[in-house]
Amino acid sequence: MERVELELVSGFRLEFTDRERALGQVEEWAERGTRFPVVIFGPEGCGKSAFLRQASAMLRELGFDVFYLHPLEREFRAEVAVPDVRREFVQFVERALGENALGRVAWAALDFVRKLQRARWGRIAVVADDVFQAIGLDAVAAYVKALLNLIEYPASRYERMVVLVVTSEGVSRREVGRHLWAEVAPMWNMSREGFQQLYDKIPSPKPPFDEAWRLTGGNPRMLARLYEARWNVEGVVSRLVDEKRFSAGFVARWRRWLEAAVEDPDALWSPDAPEELIDELEERNLIIYHMYRREEWAWIDQPPPEKDPEIGVGRRVAWHTPLHREAVRRALAEQ
């Protein structure tokens, strides 16, 4: 199986690493198709985009025509066996990108899938990365329903379909979950063993593995940020504080709950925990709320531990990474 090459940090590329169980899940989907669109959520930087790129390559190897959509990177591909559909899609994308109409491409791609369904009997995959940000929250449910319609009400008969969509936003996850139009599945940061494989590949100098694990909780993007910052932890945390917009008013209003959540994220599972704060923390990509049971069937790849205070994982609520938790701790100390 081809392993796609990814750029972890500027000027340093490496092959897709670990996630063996997730790759096995892709093979299972390829064998039977997805009955519903699979909407994958998880911490920002946990490797969802890398997984989609690898899944796209695998599905091509397994004989699928693949539409790959990544609006935030302005990347749209139609790797399909019908030249007319491929050419028309490329032309449409070029025009839309010239007008900065990313959401229009995301919607139009569904029409091209239908054209492909009419053109040939075959296997079709739609692989969409963070497409919800391009179309807007108010259109998320409609988009997922349109994807489901491609499966349930095709333009013509097809052999099988695989539809994979990724989001890191808790808000869009809730919007999708209000309906029974998708299978919503979580992906977590890399397991300790898999993360060590990635850590071993990055050049030295670097801190001991245990320290890298304690700081990142297995999150590849946080590993990359620390590497690019030359392991300046204070600098990375300060940047996160700025990026997550911890205003004095926000900290003052929610101080009691934030202090409790820094010590134990499950404090936010309390019946008294303010929903407005939980919404804010999800919108800022700081926590995953309502963690799924740790049965393997419920997760893409390996589930996280049942509870791990060292890396900020509770039974019901978890910080995206220990560094996200540390940014909140820093904001509390500075305000």
The H-or-E segment that residue 85 falls in is helix 83-98
pLDDT of residue 267: 98
Q: What is the mean pLDDT of residues 190-201?
A: 95
Beta strands in the chain (DSSP E): 5-9, 12-15, 38-41, 64-70, 75-79, 123-129, 160-167, 183-186, 287-289, 317-319
The per-residue pLDDT for 231 is 96
Conformation bin of residue 121: beta by default, left when phi > 0, alpha when psi is -120 to 50: beta
Q: What is the pLDDT of residues 23-80, one digit of tens each?
A: 999 999 999 999 999 999 999 999 999 999 999 999 999 999 999 999 999 999 999 9
Q: What is the pLDDT of residue 190?
A: 97
pLDDT recorded at residue 129? 95
**Nearest-angstrom CA–CA distance, 29 and 27:** 5
Please give the average per-residue pLDDT across 125-154, as a whole number. Answer: 94
For residue 139, how many other CB atoms are within 10 A of its CB? 17
pLDDT at 208: 97
pLDDT value of position 187: 97
DSSP 3-state of 181: coil
For residue range 207-263, what is the model confidence (pLDDT) as tens digits?
Answer: 999 999 999 999 999 999 999 999 999 999 999 999 999 999 999 999 999 999 999
CA–CA gap between residue 232 and residue 162 (Å, rounded): 42
* Section 97-112 average pLDDT: 96
The 10 Å Cβ neighbour count of residue 272 is 6
Whole-number pLDDT of residue 177:
78
pTM metric for this prediction: 0.94
Average pLDDT over every residue of 180-200: 95
Residue 54: what pLDDT? 97
pLDDT of residue 171: 63
Q: State the average pLDDT for the chain.
A: 95
What DSSP state is assigned to residue 2?
A: P
Location of each CATH 3.40.50 domain in the chain = 5-186
- Examine the pLDDT at 175 and tell me if it is beyond 90: no
User: Quick one: which of 316, 306, 315, 310 has its CA closest to 278?
Assistant: 316
Class for the domain spanning 5-186:
alpha beta
For residue 231, CA distances in Å to 130, 205, 310, 330 come to: 29, 9, 19, 18
Cα(192)–Cα(214) distance, integer angstroms: 10
Q: Helix/strand/coil (H, E, C) string of 47-74?
A: CHHHHHHHHHHHHHHCCEEEEEEEHHHC
Beta carbons within 8 Å of 47's beta carbon, 6+ residues apart: 19, 187, 189, 190, 220
**pLDDT tens digits, one per residue of 80-93:** 999 999 999 999 99
Closest Cα partner for 110 from 73, 75, 145?
A: 145
Q: Is the pLDDT of residue 9 over 90?
A: no
The whole-number average pLDDT for the span 105-115 is 97
Average pLDDT in the 278-282 region? 94
Higher pLDDT residue, 113 or 137?
A: 113
